[in-house]
Structure 1
Amino acid sequence: MKPLPEPFQRLSLAFTLILLAAAMLLWSDRHSRHADVEPRQAGTPIPVALLTHSSNPLLEETQAGIMAGLADKVFRDGAQIKINLYNPEGDLPTGNLMAQKIASGTDKLAISISTVMLQALANANRQGKIPHVFGAVTSPVGAGVGIQSLDTLNKPPQLTGIGTPQPVADIFRLAKKLNPNLKTVGVVWNPAEVNSEICTQRARDIARELGITLLEAPAEQTKDVREAAESLVSRGVEAFWTGGDATVNNALDSLMDVAQGARLPVFSNMAGHVRRGGLFDLGANYFEVGQEVGHVAGDILAGANPARLPVRDFVPRRLLLNEKVRQTVRGDWRFPEDIQAQAAEIIRVDGSTQRIAASDTAPASSTPANTPPPQTPATPQAGTATAPLDHT
């Protein structure tokens, strides 16, 4: 066979060199083409950012659940992962700065706790530089971070997590059952929090249905909560209700002080407030919520693509009663036997705590879980960290 003419040989060589250069570029860029957790050397912990809104029992319970959920997936802090904790203690400007640091930093996965921190981190991470998992959020769709609907993939590809809407209508129905003469309920809430706005609107709707007057007092900062609560007492409320408001939750002791001074009960959708002086709670078990968040985060660390994980709701309900407080408040409040049988926990008159069997059923045909200990349980034995998969 005759050799190709010299011009064709040069052209063939040029094409070959171009193909080799393109292949090298594609190989060197293989990681940047995926919002991915980069493979780590064996034994090197993967850095994970955890952004929480503040230090309070509910968010700490969620955080403990997240750690347990990660451990279920064999990702333990100090072994396979290294948790970098960020906590602005309720200060939003500081939270925004922390979110920006996370989005531009070296962590390979970010987890946020609360609606406010979801918003802060999602806004800072709009370019999708880091996978983001969230939890303890009342309404992921209502948070305004690009999640269009639940149980679909119509959302930012780097973002996924767990929504936990408060059972507002059910707790008002339960309040009416425990005190049929209840006519006026007060709520302190922060209009700047979308999660609180959603809960308050639901409260308005169910109060209207039940013939209850809902009196509202705004509190834009924690220091405003006490004065707002006192204004509601002067307006004649017969009880306080708290929903998913982070501002009020961070100043709960102020609200409880006012309520106790007026001998008024507090009922809450944030399960756990009975331990701080509330009459009864009907809300989520946030330890179990955190576990679900940790499972999702663990799946992503193991290689799952967050773009293919839909956002979903998860509300493991828990009813808590405080018989000791019931003895001190005004009004004809009663805990019938059928309601006590549905409680996960009852604080008795002597201050002791009775925990009920896990098979009991919470109001509105929901199934609660026993109150788990607020700590990370023992974790499975694990070897070195597994290199996560590409998110293809």
Structure 2
Amino acid sequence: MNKRLLSSIVIVVGFLVFAFFQGTHSSNHQAKIPKVGILQLVTHPALDEIHQGVVAGLKQEGYVNGKTVKIDYQNAQANQANLKTMAQNFINQGDNLTVGIATPAVLSLAKAANGQSPVILAGITDPVGAKLVKSIDKPGANITGTSGDSPLTEHLDVIQKVAPQAKTLGIIYTSSDHGGTYHAQKTEKLAQEKGLRVKMYTIASTNDMQQVAETMAGQVDVVYAPQDNGVASAMKTLINTTNQAKIPVIPATDTMVKDGGIATMSVSQFDIGYQAGLMAGQVLKGQNPATMPVRSVMKGSLVVNIKEAQMLGIELPANMVQEAQAHGEVIQ
């Protein structure tokens, strides 16, 4: 074998060895990138905003999808079987951490994680009542995150300003939605204390909205739609029915106002997700979720729908509109 051929073989072998070790190093580097699973109950604007906030919060902590973290986003489309399967898949593929958007999603993640890998709440109304954490200040296990409780007293103030002559308030919620039930029952007590007669209506799924809304519209003067995933998903159906009866709807979130509600004091769903994303990033860096207090996002801003009010023949108080223009949002 001549020297030139031998030299060529040595060069090729050296290149292959170098490429092998570089590939191994690259694979090891990729393997070290943390994986985060995000499980969302269903598609609707409020939960979509929470999802966007989670991703933004992770980015703020230095975890950019595709670069410094791998995010696997799954949407169960309100299917309980999907929730169970998707949650278990996150655990099976070794995700470092999971994030649940809406109470049913977190419950599925908590069961799949079985106290082992961290689970981050993203906008859960009543995490203690749902038995996800021991307390707000000391969660005590592998779960923490953000609570997106509604400013119910402010919502009732909006109801009485929009419909000052109303005597009967209808509250509609999903019977299987823990957060919706929690808010509906609390609002019922607060409304009764203010002298309002309250009628409660439930739907088992979005398919029930048309029929229940038609019944409700003939029995009440104004409707309250709490922070409830089923009601939010069927908001346009609710509005189509109440509009025909000229009944105003006061919902819990700005996205529901955009779907036809009159007005609300709305907590930012994006901010709820953003705070959860920050906490997820901190857990990835080594913080213990057991000792991280659940963060409550409660500060809201006034949102009014001028177009809807005019269609129903309702003149909103000037100071409400002015406040929304200055510190919230006006939908024309």
RMSD between aligned residues: 1.8
1:148 and 2:134 correspond? yes
1:132 and 2:115 correspond? no
Match of 2:218 in 1: 234
Deviation at 1:151, TM superposition (A): 1.4
Match of 1:324 in 2: 307
User: What runs of 5+ residues in structure 2 fail to find an aligned partner?
Assistant: 1-26
Match of 2:9 in 1: none
Q: Partners in 2 of 1:141 and 1:337 — Cα distance? A: 37
| Between structures 1 and 2, the one with greater helix share | 2
Q: Partners in 1 of 2:35 and 2:137 — Cα distance? A: 29
1:75 and 2:59 correspond? no
Q: Partners in 2 of 1:197 and 1:210 — Cα distance? A: 20
Q: Partners in 2 of 1:94 and 1:256 — Cα distance? A: 29
Q: Partners in 2 of 1:248 and 1:294 — Cα distance? A: 26
Amino acid at match of 1:59: L
1:340 and 2:322 correspond? yes
Give TM-score scaled by structure 1 length. 0.73
Deviation at 1:318, TM superposition (A): 2.4
Q: Partners in 1 of 2:192 and 2:309 — Cα distance? A: 25
Q: Partners in 1 of 2:197 and 2:112 — Cα distance? A: 40
Give the total of aligned pairs. Answer: 303
Equivalent position to 1:172, from 148, 156, 168: 156
For residues 168-204 of structure 1, give each alpha carbon's deviation from its aligned partner in whole angstroms, at most 9, with x where no partner exists.
Answer: 2221122113332121221221222221121111111
Q: Partners in 2 of 1:187 and 1:137 — Cα distance? A: 20
SS of residue paired to 1:69: helix
Contact in 2 for aligned 1:179/1:333 (Cα 8 Å): no
Written as runs of structure 1 = structure 2, the 5 A alignment for 1:56-67 is: 56-67=44-55
Equivalent position to 2:40, from 52, 65, 68: 52
Q: Partners in 2 of 1:213 and 1:123 — Cα distance? A: 40
User: What runs of 5+ residues in structure 1 fail to find an aligned partner?
Assistant: 1-39, 349-392
Larger deviation, residues 213-222 vs 308-317: 308-317
Written as runs of structure 1 = structure 2, the 5 A alignment for 1:169-248 is: 169-235=153-219, 237-248=220-231
Equivalent position to 1:290, from 273, 277, 284: 273
Superposition misfits of 4+ residues, deviation over 6 angstroms: none
Match of 1:312 in 2: 295
Q: Partners in 2 of 1:191 and 1:298 — Cα distance? A: 34
Q: Partners in 1 of 2:92 and 2:315 — Cα distance? A: 53
